[in-house]
Amino acid sequence: MSFTNFCCRSGGNNMNGGGQSDNGEPGTSAKYTSTNGNWNGTSIFTPTDSSTPASSISVGDWACACVDGATTPSYYARVTAVAAGVNGAITLSTTRFMGTAPTSSASARTIRVGGAWLGPNAAVGFPFGMMSAALMDGTNLTPRVNFKNDQTYAVTTTTLLVTASNLYVRYEGYTTTFGDGGQANLDGGTTGASYILINASNAGAENEFINFTFSNNGATGSADGVSATTGGNAIRLRFEHCVFHDLRGSGFSSVSGTGGFHLFCECEFYNCNQSNSATKGGADIGGLVSVTWFKRTIFHDNSGSNTAGINAVCAVSCEGCIFDTNGGIGIRVNTNGGGVYLSQCDFYANASDGIGGPLAGGGTRVFAENCNFVDNGGYGVNLAAGATWQGCLRNCGFGSGTMANASGNTNAPTSGTLENISPITYGANLTPWVDPANGDFRLNSTATAGASARGAGRGSYTQTATSYAGTVSYPDVGQQHQDAGGGTGGVNRSLLPSGVSALG
């Protein structure tokens, strides 16, 4: 995917233009600044300071036009033309912009072209609250705001994420070069009443967060870290390589309108719900959101007896995820008529059940294949509270001896069924993983343990067409094992890049 790049970095200024014509990293200072200029109110700035803008400005640079002395971001647009000579007029696009243009004036107007933004700081949420679908260059490239990790983006109040219809924006961390995988940190501090760091509400937008850490949001109360609350057209959010930690409420929460969806890929949730509030956890997926997907995501060490890895009040799908040492249930299922689908997930050492909960309503389904339930404080899967629940487990692994689930492997609903098809029981006092206490959930090669899970998952389906031979796959039970000549397929926190807590 190609982008129209904007940049936030230490030493920048939110009154800079934010991007430049070559789409690369801007310096911290504007390329060109002129004050007391003539502005026609829509698109043309004419300097009056005898400068020569054409000597430093290029078509495609981005500019901020404002009232002289302004410190609050209000209007940005793409440069479309620069007249030659002294006091040459600068023309800005009327279609590639965001914000509201300042009123016309023969003087008392400023323009700043190029230069990086500072980004969110203290009570300033910019640019999260201002992005526009019109922030594209002439070839309609997706807007991407790059956050350099040379500073902590320390904020003190909630930022409202822009969610206008047809808006698609990516926010992404970096270290040296845009897209290099560096992790940016949005931190809310550890004092005062808690507050939501980012709140996405209303309308049908698409926003992506890549390589972000959301940490801390006060000292008291139970506000969530990132929240999505919508009405009408539901918002759609994607998080990749993101970390949610040390938050008073859930790391992420959603109460969405019908039709919304969220995707988490290779994310991490830990030490969330510090308030130990009921129905909260690493993620609280609620309302009428259609479905939320979690792929290769880990929920661990979210302490507190009320705290779940996920609190599911609507349909949730988890693939290759880990629920490890949470203070309550791994997944608390509290939904009505939805479903929970799990594939190759691991539930280990959660203080209560691996899967369980109030199980409100009826007609809901729980389906888990190729998952492990080992050493949980309650049942591996507990659907006893459900009235008309249906559950099915296929090729799932369970501990024994000291690694058994304290209350048993499964507990069926009072009305309905819970099938446990082709279960695997590991040897007494053994886990199938390399070092789960330290976050290494790759399958080990121990007989009657990890070796029993390798290639033992459901899904080695043989095609029936005569022109096709072989099988679709040979899945493991739980996280994929590491072959001698290959890379790590499973989640291993000990193998993460230096200085990065997040997965990936």
pTM, to two decimals: 0.93
Averaged pLDDT for residues 268-289: 90
User: CA–CA distance from 326 to each of 185, 264, 301 (Å)?
Assistant: 24, 19, 5
Averaged pLDDT for residues 416-433: 95
pLDDT of residue 495: 36
- Residue with the two structure tokens 């899970």: 453
Averaged pLDDT for residues 232-238: 68
Residue 257: pLDDT band by 50, 70, 90 thresholds?
A: low
Q: Which residues contact 479 (CB under 8 A, 6 or more apart)?
A: 320, 322, 344, 346, 433, 441, 442, 443, 489, 490, 491
Task: Find the helix or strand (DSSP H, E) in which 5 lies.
Answer: strand 3-8
- Residue with the two structure tokens 């440069």: 79
Mean pLDDT lowest among 68-77, 230-239, 474-483: 230-239
pLDDT of residue 498: 39
Phi then psi for 442, rounded to 5 degrees? -70, 145
pLDDT at 243 over 80: yes
pLDDT tens per residue across span 200-226: 875 566 889 999 999 999 999 999 999
Percentage of the chain lying above the pLDDT 90 cut: 70
Averaged pLDDT for residues 317-342: 90
Q: Which residues contact 306 (CB under 8 A, 6 or more apart)?
A: 273, 276, 277, 278, 279, 280, 327, 328
pLDDT of residue 478: 94
Q: Answer whether 416's CB lies under 8 Å from 466's CB.
A: no
pLDDT at 36 over 70: yes
Residue 229: pLDDT band by 50, 70, 90 thresholds?
A: confident
User: How far is the C-alpha of 322 from the C-alpha of 67, rounded, in Å?
Assistant: 52
pLDDT at 392 over 60: yes
* Of 501 and 215, more confident: 215
pLDDT of residue 139: 66
pLDDT tens per residue across span 335-375: 665 689 999 999 999 999 999 887 765 667 899 999 999 99
pLDDT of residue 137: 65
pLDDT tens per residue across span 102-156: 999 999 999 999 999 999 999 999 999 888 777 876 666 889 999 999 999 999 9
Q: Answer whether 210's CB lies under 8 Å from 173's CB.
A: yes
Could you list the beta-strand ranges (E) of 345-500: 346-348, 355-356, 365-369, 372-374, 379-382, 389-394, 397-400, 408-411, 416-421, 424-428, 433-435, 440-443
Q: Answer whether 285's CB lies under 8 Å from 311's CB.
A: yes
- Residue with the two structure tokens 């459900």: 386
pLDDT at 279 over 70: yes
* Of 361 and 252, more confident: 252
Q: Is the Cα torsion angle 126, 128, 129, 133 positive or negative in sign?
A: positive
Number of helices (H), then strands (E), in the chain: 1, 41
Averaged pLDDT for residues 261-283: 95
Q: Answer whether 116's CB lies under 8 Å from 25's CB.
A: yes
Which amino acid type is present at position 12?
G
Residue 489: pLDDT band by 50, 70, 90 thresholds?
A: very low
Q: Answer whether 242's CB lies under 8 Å from 216's CB.
A: no
Mean pLDDT across the chain, nearest whole number?
88
pLDDT of residue 24: 96
Residue 288: pLDDT band by 50, 70, 90 thresholds?
A: low
Residue 487: pLDDT band by 50, 70, 90 thresholds?
A: very low
pLDDT of residue 400: 98
* Of 199 and 148, more confident: 148
Burial category of 4 from C-beta neighbours within 10 Å (exposed 0-12, middle 13-18, buried 19 and up) = buried
3-state secondary structure 283-349: EEEEECCCEEEEECCEEECCCCCCCEEEEECCCEEEECCEEECCCCCCEEECCCCCEEEEECCEEEC
Residues making up the chain, counted from first to last: 504
User: How far is the C-alpha of 216 from the C-alpha of 210, rounded, in Å?
Assistant: 19
Averaged pLDDT for residues 259-284: 92
